[in-house]
Amino acid sequence: MDRYCVFGNPIAHSKSPEIHAAYAAQTGQQLSYERRLAPVDGFAQAVREFIAEGGKGANVTLPFKLDAHKLADALTMRAQAAGAVNTLVFGPDGIIGDNTDGAGLVADIVRNAGVPIAGKRVLMLGAGGAARGAVLPILEERPAALVIANRTVATAEALVQQFAALAGEGVLSSSGFESLQGSFDIVINATSASLNAALPPIPAAVFHQGTLALDMMYGKEPTVFMHFAAEHGATVRDGLGMLIEQAAEAFYGWRGVRPDTSALLVQMRSKL
Ligand code: NDP
């Protein structure tokens, strides 16, 4: 049976084994998928051991996404753009590093929420790893504007510089939180502020009636960002759909079969 795993530290909380077991059952794929706790300074060794045991691929979560990027023998374009890797494929050509987080985000917005990105004004809050991985997949959908706002504005500006050549004239720009101008059709919270129940200090006017506001964090209760957005007319969504979709994209990369995500999203929501 082909073997896969997720590396992280800590890892006990990971929902990936449950998600991939559901995808394997649904698509009739014979595989096993386990959690692997790697030492903080021992990621490469842990991967090599798994390959020696016959591992075919792996997911990578905190704090190893940059280590995985370094370890890979080759990178997909989206992993290069993201500067981080969340999916590894082990094959005859060595270790291939991919990043499915951004594709998962876009799939959740476009397919699950039914909101096209094409022609829309999009605001992304945050410029860390998750935001960086999302920029290329969002630009590929051809938004009218993508504004990256961050607490440290220089980091947002660096992202704009990195991706400027791939965006149309005037599409991509950076901002601080308080200085944001105008309203947006889609607002994505890619900051980790929600982990501490904090809210980036954005003007309420970034939302209009029907704005889609998505927080990458997920949990049983809506985040402070989701509460704030809903109070100002937005339709809100958390990051559970993104999580399930990035896993589907990894599963497709490994097995060549695209699982249906809709039933799993409902099932996992009920278990949060
Ligand atoms: P990083 O640590 O790489 O980046 C954190 C970002 O949040 C930075 O832009 C940082 O700004 C900003 N930030 C942190 N604290 C605050 C605050 N109090 N107020 C305003 N901005 C703040 O984290 P990641 O990019 O890896 O993760 C971001 C979020 O996305 C996390 O909540 C994570 O759980 C979630 N995530 C969800 C996924 C899913 O599948 N649903 C997948 C990946 C991530 P600065 O640059 O100024 O420090």
Query: What's the gap in Å between 130 CA and the centre of ligand 1?
Result: 7
- Say if domain 2-99 classifies as CATH 3.75.10.10: no
> Which option is the CATH number for 102-240: 1.10.760.10, 3.30.2350.10, 3.40.50.2000, 3.40.50.720?
3.40.50.720
Asked whether 150 lines ligand 1 (CB < 6 A), one says yes
Please give the pLDDT value at position 168: 87
Please give the pLDDT value at position 31: 97
Calculate the alpha carbon distances from 201 to 220, 227, 237, 257, 259 in Å. Answer: 24, 14, 19, 42, 38
Please give the pLDDT value at position 27: 97
Query: What's the gap in Å between 193 CA and the centre of ligand 1?
Result: 7
Asked whether 243 lines ligand 1 (CB < 6 A), one says yes
Q: Are 243 and 249 in contact (CB under 8 A)?
A: no
pTM of the model: 0.96
The model's pLDDT over 98-139, given as tens digits with 9 standing for 90+, comes to: 999 999 999 999 999 999 999 999 999 999 989 999 999 999
**65 is an active site residue:** yes
**Which of 101, 191, 218, 237 for mutating ligand 1's site (highest number of atoms within 8 Å of CB)?**
191
**Which of 132, 157, 178, 192 for mutating ligand 1's site (highest number of atoms within 8 Å of CB)?**
192
Q: Which of 65, 70, 120, 271 is catalytic?
A: 65
Closest CA to 217 of 189, 175, 245: 189
Closest CA to 150 of 158, 140, 142: 158
Domains 2-99 and 102-240 share a fold: yes
Query: Using CA positions, which residue lies closest to atom 46 of ligand 1?
Result: 152
**Residue ranges of the chain with pLDDT lower than 70?**
none
**Residue ranges of the domains in the chain?**
2-99, 102-240
Helix (H) or strand (E) holding 248: helix 240-255
What is the distance between the alpha carbons of residues 7 and 147, in angstroms, rounded to a whole number?
A: 32
Asked whether 246 lines ligand 1 (CB < 6 A), one says yes
